[in-house]
């Protein structure tokens, strides 16, 4: 039976969900987290619903049995679209948070009424997303662009040295991720704040936050990016509070860092079904977490 001291499970097809974990850690620094990247089977976006649903169920089962998680954040739009309803019915007692492209919040910020949405093919062609778009169709003009290969290229880019920030403008198009961003953004039409231009871009895949600088160089400074990390963190916190499962931080003497008892499980465990070196690089680059948090696992 999970307790308040149990970890929160978070999973994605790969390293993209680390963007959600970053928001969860910022909102709930006292919680323990176990993150699973299914990198051996990424990307999910072009795999088809049955495959993604089977992986989602296997991973949920694994996190419940091996880590006694007290809540699950499906930090993957593609897995949410393919399987969240079924996960909910198989684990009715588990507080569960899924992700979907934040098109409703985009409506609240667009001034031109033209909104771009990027995501995986799996997410954007799903029945769930189709229903959402149908319910909002008369409220804005949406341009929806599946970005085949982009999440996979982001996974691969983790192994490459990080480009210096000042070179990113000039470098867009010269890297694999930059070339893909350029192809898809150009295919969508004009971005900007003038009438008829898209002034809002919904990042409908958790991987894409890690190429935000490349997207920014392409769409210009006036376009607003909408992502889901912070609202998901708030929703997770609400569900845990409602279930009386929020972790109460241990008392520490004033001015001293919280004590970590020797041999205790670290507050963040990062697991991957793929190469651990990739997860280590991503954890270091995006979350400033040490390699000692990372471990490779098998989830058949």
Residue ranges binding ligand DGL (CB under 6 A): 12-14, 16, 42-45, 76-78, 120, 123, 151, 205-207
Q: How far is the CB of 105 from ligand DGL (least distance, A)?
A: 16
Q: Is 181 a catalytic residue?
A: no
The encoded tokens of residue 39 equal 């990198």
Q: How far is the CB of 300 from ligand DGL (least distance, A)?
A: 19
**3-class SS string, the chain:** CCCCCCCEEEEECCCCCHHHHHHHHHHCCCCCEEEEECHHHCCCCCCCHHHHHHHHHHHHHHHHHHHCCCEEEECCHHHHHHHHHHHHHHCCCCCEECCCCCHHHHHHHCCCCEEEEEECHHHHCCHHHHHHHHHHCCCCEEEEEECCCHHHHHHHHCCCCCCCHHHHHHHCCCCHHHHHHHHHHHHHCCECCCCCCECEEEEECHHHHHHHHHHHHHHCCCCEEECCHHHHHHHHHHHHHHCCCCCCCCCCCCCCCCCCCCCCCCCEEEEECCCHHHHHHHHHHHHCCCHHHEEECCCC
Q: Which one, 116 or 267, has the nearer CB to ligand DGL?
A: 116
Q: Is 147 a catalytic residue?
A: no
Q: How far is the CB of 68 from ligand DGL (least distance, A)?
A: 25
Q: Which one, 44 or 184, has the nearer CB to ligand DGL?
A: 44
Rounded Cα–Cα distance for residues 254 and 245 (Å) = 25
Q: Which one, 6 or 77, has the nearer CB to ligand DGL?
A: 77
Q: Which one, 48 or 249, has the nearer CB to ligand DGL?
A: 48
Computed over its alpha carbons, how large is the radius of gyration of the chain? 19
Q: How far is the CB of 125 from ligand DGL (least distance, A)?
A: 12
Q: Which one, 42 or 71, has the nearer CB to ligand DGL?
A: 42
Catalytic residue among 76, 147, 293, 294: 76
Q: How far is the CB of 17 from ligand DGL (least distance, A)?
A: 6
Q: How far is the CB of 102 from ligand DGL (least distance, A)?
A: 12
Q: Which one, 155 or 199, has the nearer CB to ligand DGL?
A: 155
CB burial of residue 197 (10 Å; 0-12, 13-18, 19+): middle
> Could you list the active site residues?
76, 205
């Amino acid at each position: 039976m999970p307790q308040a001291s149990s970890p929160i499970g978070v999973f994605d097809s790969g390293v993209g969900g680390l963007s959600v974990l970053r928001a969860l850690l910022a909102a709930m620094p006292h919680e323990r987290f176990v993150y699973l990247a299914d990198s051996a089977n990424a990307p999910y976006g072009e795999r088809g619903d049955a495959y993604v649903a089977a992986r989602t169920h296997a991973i949920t089962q694994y996190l419940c049995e091996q880590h006694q998680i007290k809540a699950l954040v499906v930090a993957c739009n593609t897995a949410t679209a393919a399987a969240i309803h079924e996960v909910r019915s198989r684990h009715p007692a588990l507080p569960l948070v899924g992700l979907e492209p934040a098109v409703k919040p985009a409506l609240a910020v667009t001034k031109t009424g033209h909104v771009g949405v990027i995501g995986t093919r799996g997410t954007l062609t799903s029945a769930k997303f189709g229903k959402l778009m149908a319910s909002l169709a008369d409220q804005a003009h949406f341009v929806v662009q599946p970005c085949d290969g982009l999440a996979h290229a982001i996974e691969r880019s983790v192994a490459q040295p990080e480009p210096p920030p000042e070179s990113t403008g000039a470098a867009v198009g010269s890297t694999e991720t930059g070339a893909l961003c350029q192809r898809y953004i150009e295919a969508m039409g004009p971005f900007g704040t003038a009438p008829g231009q898209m002034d809002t871009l919904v990042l409908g895949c958790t991987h894409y936050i890690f190429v935000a600088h490349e997207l920014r160089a392409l769409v210009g400074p006036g376009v607003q990016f909408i992502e889901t990390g912070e609202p998901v963190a708030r929703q997770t916190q609400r569900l845990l509070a409602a279930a009386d499962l929020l972790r109460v931080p241990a008392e520490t003497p004033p001015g001293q860092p919280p004590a970590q008892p020797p041999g205790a499980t670290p507050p963040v465990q990062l697991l991957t079904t793929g190469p651990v070196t990739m997860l280590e690089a991503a954890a270091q680059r995006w979350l400033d977490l040490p390699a000692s948090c990372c471990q490779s696992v098998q989830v058949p």
